[in-house]
């Protein structure tokens, strides 16, 4: 089964598998959204079913909640949990300071709320998500539907005075209609190419009327688990500055490989 996976899928699986080492019995765990996070949910589900791991999941989207239930992970809301021990999620980009761009899957608002309500946030990603400077991936900005075109103009005008290379925004579409988030909002994707000062940009964007939240995660991530297509895994911890390397073996007939390939 594993031979049918692409190198990218193997890298995502390796990162997700290694990240399960952070999870302990009794934890309340934030479950991210996206293809890499889906591998994590499957890995945790296998531990719940086959090894008796006892955890409670707080999903960051309706689709993550559905997957978690499918694989046997008990799910509660953040309001019920109140505070989390750990959140594990993917990223669209990360830099050397573990600043992130997230929101490619459309769940940035819930992802940021859950991540900041956690004692620790761990990002899982393939090595292709690593960048020297954020911005090649379009930056998602969640906006309310009312007056979104005005909000778009205000965002583009604001970008003129900031340290970015591109200054255009586009509404994310779902077929012929704007994409709608779980919170009923729209997403503007900012095509910036390079973000010179992510902290400043994040603060300024959130001051614009109509903007709910942006996809820059600054000083939130504690560690990143980087997967490679050959099963190698690198763990970088921003708090103590350590880098650990390990190897994940791909087993033929692995249950996870039979029905998930994002």
Residue set of the binding site for substrate: 33-36, 89-92, 102-105, 129
Strand order in the sheet with 139-143: 168-171, 186-191, 139-143, 211-214
The one catalytic residue in 111, 142, 213, 234 is 111
Contacts of residue 207, Cβ cutoff 8 Å, sequence gap at least 6: none
Count the neighbouring beta carbons within 10 Å of the beta carbon of residue 252. Answer: 8
Q: To which residue do tokens 């991530």 refer?
A: 221
Q: Which tokens go with 229?
A: 């297509």
Binding-site annotation, residues: 33-36, 89-92, 102-105, 129
Is 183 designated active site?
A: no
* Neighbour tally for 176: CB within 10 Å: 5
Enumerate the active-site residues: 111
């Amino acid at each position: 089964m594993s031979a049918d996976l692409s190198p990218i899928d193997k890298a995502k699986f390796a990162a997700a598998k290694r990240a399960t080492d952070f999870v302990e019995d009794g934890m309340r765990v934030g479950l991210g959204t996206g293809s890499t996070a889906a591998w994590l949910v499957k890995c945790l589900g296998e531990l719940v079913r086959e090894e008796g791991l006892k955890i409670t999941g707080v999903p960051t989207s309706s689709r993550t909640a559905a997957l978690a239930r499918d694989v046997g992970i008990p799910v509660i809301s953040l309001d019920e949990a109140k505070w989390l021990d750990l959140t594990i999620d993917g990223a669209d980009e990360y830099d050397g300071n573990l600043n992130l761009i997230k929101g490619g899957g459309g769940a940035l608002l819930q992802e940021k709320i859950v991540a900041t309500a956690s004692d620790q946030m761990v990002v899982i990603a393939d090595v292709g998500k690593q960048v020297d400077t954020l911005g090649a991936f379009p930056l998602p900005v969640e906006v309310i539907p009312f007056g979104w075109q005005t909000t778009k103009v205000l965002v583009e005008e604001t970008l003129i005075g900031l340290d970015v290379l591109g200054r255009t925004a586009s509404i994310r579409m779902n077929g012929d209609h704007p994409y709608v988030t779980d919170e009923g909002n729209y997403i503007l994707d900012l095509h910036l190419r390079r973000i010179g000062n992510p902290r400043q940009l994040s603060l300024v964007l959130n001051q614009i009327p109509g903007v709910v939240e942006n996809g820059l995660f600054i000083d939130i991530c504690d560690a990143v688990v980087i997967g490679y297509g050959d099963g190698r895994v690198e763990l970088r911890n921003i708090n103590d500055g350590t880098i650990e390397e390990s190897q994940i073996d791909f087993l033929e007939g692995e249950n996870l490989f039979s029905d998930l390939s994002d």
